[in-house]
Amino acid sequence: DAKTTQPPSMDCAEGRAANLPCNHSTISGNEYVYWYRQIHSQGPQYIIHGLKNNETNEMASLIITEDRKSSTLILPHATLRDTAVYYCIVRVGSGGSNYKLTFGKGTLLTVNP
Amino acid sequence: GAGVSQSPSNKVTEKGKDVELRCDPISGHTALYWYRQRLGQGLEFLIYFQGNSAPDKSGLPSDRFSAERTGESVSTLTIQRTQQEDSAVYLCASSQQPGLEQFFGPGTRLTVL
């Protein structure tokens, strides 16, 4: 997996948008950007992924820069339950043998009341 | 089922005993993964099953660890002669196809006394 860089921690006020950045300057053309999160004492949870277009689902939005060297995960209205470690990963999609998921240190997002 | 389930949720055992952990993947998911997560650490890949192909056991830390999967359904991870360093959360994940987003179970917290 290509290396990603994320800030170690961020704070956000409840109800406000949380914008989590990720740098992936060495991403290859066939690699997707994936986001997972892990709430304390729970298993990791898939959030969203994208290749080059911006993506949105019921959980979050993913904004990928035109050069694909960085991206931002947006939680539009953060709640206390969104407090978790957020992991940004770049990897190829289906096929091949690249199925082992590797997390870096991620960003600890703390949503404050 | 609605998601990946694992049992037991917690297991406390004595050093030297054998333990068996169970994972029920999402119905229809052909790929199944086992990971280990030590306290405060990232994911450690253990083993991967895909359909009827030979599993990738490259992550198993020793021959005390083994895993089985029946077709595309339940999987069991067995640890023989447990050691204190085996204490960790054991996570199971499944995906519709290899390399696609992985959906995790809640994990089994294993404590070896």
B90 in contact with chain A, both atoms CB, cutoff 8 A: no
Examine residue A8 and say whether the peptide bond preceding it is cis (omega within 30 degrees of 0): no
The Cβ of residue A82 has, within 10 Å, a number of other Cβ atoms equal to 19
Residue whose C-alpha is closest to residue B45's, from B31, B30, B32, B34 = B34
Residue B1 confidence (pLDDT) above 70: no
The B19-24 sheet, strands edge to edge: B5-7, B19-24, B75-79, B65-69
User: What are the residues of chain A with a beta carbon less than 8 Å away from any beta carbon of chain B?
Assistant: 34, 42-46, 49, 91-105
> Which of B59, B97, B99 shows the shortest C-beta gap to A98?
B99
Contact A43 B106 (CB under 8 A): yes
- Summarised one tens digit per residue, pLDDT across range B40-97 is 888 889 999 988 888 999 899 999 999 999 877 899 999 999 999 999 999 999 998 8
- Chain B contact set for A97 (CB, 8 A): 56, 98
Q: In whole angstroms, what is the distance from residue A8 CA to residue A84 CA?
A: 12
CA B81 from centre of chain? 17
Place B98 in a pLDDT band, splitting at 50, 70 and 90: confident
What confidence score (pLDDT) does residue B40 get? 81
Residuewise pLDDT in 10s, chain A (113 residues) = 458 999 999 999 999 999 999 999 999 888 889 999 999 888 899 999 999 989 999 999 999 999 999 999 999 999 999 999 999 988 876 655 567 777 778 999 999 99
